[in-house]
């Protein structure tokens, strides 16, 4: 979670980028090659950084708990061949 403060050490760049310090990336298991999901919580003035692998796991868990053994989308699932 990244929050703004007038005394902060990091700033948003000209292109809207914000560098995430290496210790924070290591703590969250984020590497340069892996995508992340950013969620802005505007009322709290924070940016939440989620590693993509955690989002995938949370979605899989969420669908599994709601559909039981029938799979992520239940009977409405469309079979697709992976390439």
Q: According to the model, what pLDDT value does residue 37 have?
A: 84
Q: Could you give the strand order of the β-sheet that contains 36-41, starting from the edge strand earlier in sequence? A: 2-3, 46-51, 36-41
Per-residue pLDDT of the chain (83 residues; tens, 9 = 90+): 778 888 888 888 888 888 888 888 888 778 878 788 888 888 888 888 888 888 888 888 888 887 665 554 555 556 666 66
Per-domain residue ranges for the chain?
A: 19-71
Q: According to the model, what pLDDT value does residue 75 have?
A: 52
């Amino acid at each position: 979670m990244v929050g703004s403060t007038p005394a902060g050490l990091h700033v948003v760049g000209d292109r809207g980028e914000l560098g995430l310090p290496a210790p924070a990336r290591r703590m969250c298991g984020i590497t340069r090659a892996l995508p992340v999901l950013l969620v802005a919580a505007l009322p709290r003035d924070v940016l939440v950084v989620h590693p993509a692998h955690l989002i995938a796991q949370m979605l899989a868990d969420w669908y599994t708990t709601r559909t039981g053994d029938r799979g992520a989308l239940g009977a409405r699932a469309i079979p697709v061949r992976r390439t």
